[in-house]
Amino acid sequence: MTSAVDAKQGVQVMTPQDINIQVAKQLADLVRSTLGPYGMDKEMVDASGEVVITNDGAAILKETKLNHPTAKIITEVARTQEENCYDGTTSSIVITGELMDKAKDLTKKKVHPTRVSKGYVLANNKAQELLHDIAIDVDDDLLLSVASTAMTGKSAEAAQDVLAQIALDVIKSTTLDNINIIKRPNGKVGDSVAIAGLLIDREKMTHDMPNEVKDAKIALISVDITLPEFAQQLQIQVSDNTAVQEFIESRKLQLKEIADVIIASGANVVLCKRDIDPFVAEIFAQKGVYACRRVAMSDMESISRAGEGRMVSSIDGIKEADLATAELLEEITVGERPLIKLTGTPSKGAVSVLLRAPTHTTVEEIGRAFDDAVGVVSVALDSGKVVGGGGSPYLYLSKHLKDFASTVSGREQLAVEAFAQALEIIPAALAENSGLDPLDTLISLRQLHSDAAGHSFGVDVENGGGVNMLENGIVEPINVVSQALDSATTIAAQLLRIDNIIEMRTGPEIGEDGFNY
């Protein structure tokens, strides 16, 4: 719909579609410069002043303060993409923005937004079909390439081969939810390793606890290991010296009982999600028990799963059957700080990856890149199919959708054409971000694609023009592309159908306390 002009005030009155288009375009512009191997990083600063450097579309949108409801809907595209495919978030947002921008041209030509939205859905359905024609079956080499491609442009690039190999190894040896990733700065990326077993980013509570425990029997305790009503007990008359002494003694006795109950279960390792009283820790140390406090919930869960133990929320009833086990628990030192390493757990499959990088910021960024790589490799393995990268599938689809458009009747035909053109934004942005002329690059790529054998040609980011992506090992799981198209289409179609943005009420619902009309 065209923007109306309020004659009296001479102000542009924007329709909801205009606003949606503008917001989508702005978000797309925000992330577009990060696309591809030469994409720029964004430095984001959060409310507490913490700096995040990233070129990950989802991460950027997550860290950006977005208040407009449409912006939140569009951010969903990146979230869905991230959840399903671990990659392609920037692409999905860029395509959404371009679909909305093309819709603007169509609505100016008086094509009704619902027609545009229908045409987009038609085009996407056809695209999904076409995509399968250029997909190829995966093998190990292609999977390594998938991992490397997913990491291009991130700080992980320097050690892509090492990280790609680790990603492939771990995915082949276990499932995604059995992989735990530990990040440590002050090291080289090339020193990153995968180990069979669990690494936990914690250390023993006191120095006199053992450094290793063979045949570890691990109590997993989710509550504080201390006296429950400590605060109330403190309110005794402190004027009386003997009373204080008695109080301290009785408290120690009770704490000793707690320690004894835990040790009596057969535990020689105590991992606590909360705090451990120092006196209890002292007893543990005397008895050669390894204890550690403030263990992350996710680690407690991994240990419980791998060690086949049960996390307990009451110390009283703890028994041998609750204990997780491992052949060996040891404390190792990596990058100046210790880590707990657990190996030989009854349930195999737990794998840890220790990622190293020079600084905190780089190790975090590498963590995100590696996360993507592992996820993407698993996605590629699941579907068993990959396509070329560098924008090649989008060029192939664009060409064939233009042909398909002529078979579509009604004004939807224009929308299918617009959809086809919109897809060229990916190779164009890849070219632009690599310092190439996007138009010249598109022209030579279209030429290459005019030959059926040219379908895997994408942007040669090093030399300009086009290059065969499959031959250069730049590949992506088919799902990354199909999901990006699917979610961009769904959201664009949905936004185009909206003709009113109504703020919903917040606060109590009808029938709830405090509700008033």
- Annotated catalytic residue, options 277, 322, 372, 460: 372
Shortest separation between residue 231's beta carbon and Mg ion, angstroms: 52
Query: Which candidate in 54, 90, 325, 345 is catalytic?
Result: 90
364 binds Mg ion (CB under 5 A): no
Interface region with Mg ion, contact rule CB under 5 A, candidates 87-95, 200-208, 214-222, 314-322: 87-95
Q: Which of 22, 26, 128, 152 binds ligand ADP (CB under 6 A)?
A: 152
Choice among 54, 70, 80, 89 that is catalytic? 89
Binding string, residues 89-128; x marks residues near ligand ADP by CB under 6 A: xxx-------------------------------------
Spatial contact of 393 and 78, defined as CB atoms under 8 Å apart = no
Let me know: does 85 contact 485? Beta carbons within 8 Å.
no
- For ligand ADP, the closer CB: 168 or 220: 168
Q: Which is nearer to ligand ADP, 26 or 152 (CB)?
A: 152
| Helix ranges restricted to H, 234-359 | 241-264, 278-286, 297-306
d(CA 103, CA 494): 12
Q: What angle do CA 505, 508, 511 make, to 5 degrees?
A: 115
Segment lying near Mg ion (by CB under 5 A), choices 84-92, 101-109, 237-245, 419-427 = 84-92
Residue 34 interacts, among Mg ion, ligand ADP, none and using kind-specific CB cut-offs from 5 to 8 Å, with ligand ADP
Measured between its terminal Cα atoms, the distance across the chain in Å is 35
Residue among 63, 26, 25 at smallest CA distance from 41 = 63
Give every CB contact of residue 32 below 8 A, 6+ residues apart in sequence: 90, 94, 97, 429, 433
Comparing CA positions, the residue from 123, 283, 285 lying closest to residue 204 is 285
Based on CB atoms, which residue is closest to Mg ion, 16 or 39?
39
Output the smallest distance, CB 430 to ligand ADP, in A: 5
Q: For ligand ADP, give the closer residue by CB, 17 or 89.
A: 89
105 is catalytic: no
Out of 391, 438, 454, 477, which residue is the one contacting ligand ADP (CB under 6 A)?
391
Residues 496 and 116: their CA atoms lie apart, in Å, by 8
Q: Which residues between 370 and 389 bind ligand ADP (CB under 6 A)?
A: 389
The question of whether 89 is a catalytic residue gets the answer yes
Amino acid sitting at position 482? S
Task: Give the C-alpha distances (Å, rounded to integers) separating 372 from 34, 200, 375, 407.
Answer: 16, 21, 5, 39
Using CB under 6 A as the binding rule, whether residue 153 contacts ligand ADP is answered as yes
What gap in Å lies between CA 356 and CA 189, rounded to an integer?
Answer: 5
Annotated active-site residue 56? The verdict is: yes
Query: DSSP for 42-83?
Result: EEEE-TT--EEEE--HHHHHHHS---SHHHHHHHHHHHHHHH
Is 372 known to be catalytic?
yes
291 binds ligand ADP (CB under 6 A): no
Q: In whole angstroms, what is the distance from residue 395 CA to residue 75 CA?
A: 25
Distance CA 3, CA 17 (A): 9
57 is a site residue for ligand ADP (CB under 6 A): yes
Among the listed residues 34, 54, 56, 490, the single catalytic one is: 56
Instruction: Provide φ and ψ at 35, rounded to 5°.
Output: -70, 135
Q: Which two tokens stand for residue 369?
A: 């890149």
**What CA–CA distance (Å, rounded) separates 163 from 300?**
26
Binding of Mg ion at residue 371 (CB under 5 A)?
no
Q: How far apart are CA 203 and CA 288, in angstroms?
A: 15
**Site for ligand ADP, residues 212 to 271, rule: CB under 6 A:** none
Among 197, 390, 438, 477, binds ligand ADP (CB under 6 A): 390
Q: Which of 34, 107, 180, 352 binds ligand ADP (CB under 6 A)?
A: 34
CB-wise, 290 or 394, nearer to ligand ADP?
Answer: 394
User: Mutual orientation of helices 478-497 and 392-405 as an angle, nearest 10°?
Assistant: 50
Q: Which is nearer to ligand ADP, 312 or 420 (CB)?
A: 420
Residue spans of beta strands (DSSP E) within 78-205 = 136-137, 179-184, 193-196, 198-200
Q: Which of these segments, 30-38, 112-120, 307-315, 323-331, binds ligand ADP (CB under 6 A)?
A: 30-38
Taking the complex as a whole, the smallest distance from the CB of residue 396 to Mg ion amounts, in Å, to 19
- 59 interacts with ligand ADP by CB under 6 A: no
- Residue whose tokens read 């292609």: 142
* Binding to ligand ADP, residues 428-447 (CB under 6 A): 430
Joined together, the tokens standing for residue 216 give: 């570890």
Of 82-90, 266-274, 302-310, 503-511, the window that binds ligand ADP (rule: CB under 6 A) is: 82-90
342 vs 395, which CB is nearer to ligand ADP? 395
**C-beta nearest to Mg ion: residue:** 87
In the chain, how long is the greatest CA-to-CA distance? 97
The CB-of-62 to ligand ADP minimum distance in angstroms stands at 13
Among 17, 23, 87, 378, binds Mg ion (CB under 5 A): 87
* β-bridge mates for residue 213, sequence order: 329
Say which residue the tokens 């022209």 belong to: 443
Q: Return the active site residues.
A: 56, 89-90, 372
Residues that bind ligand ADP (CB under 6 A): 34-37, 39, 55, 57, 87-91, 149, 152-153, 389-391, 426, 430, 458-459, 461, 474, 476
Residues that bind Mg ion (CB under 5 A): 87
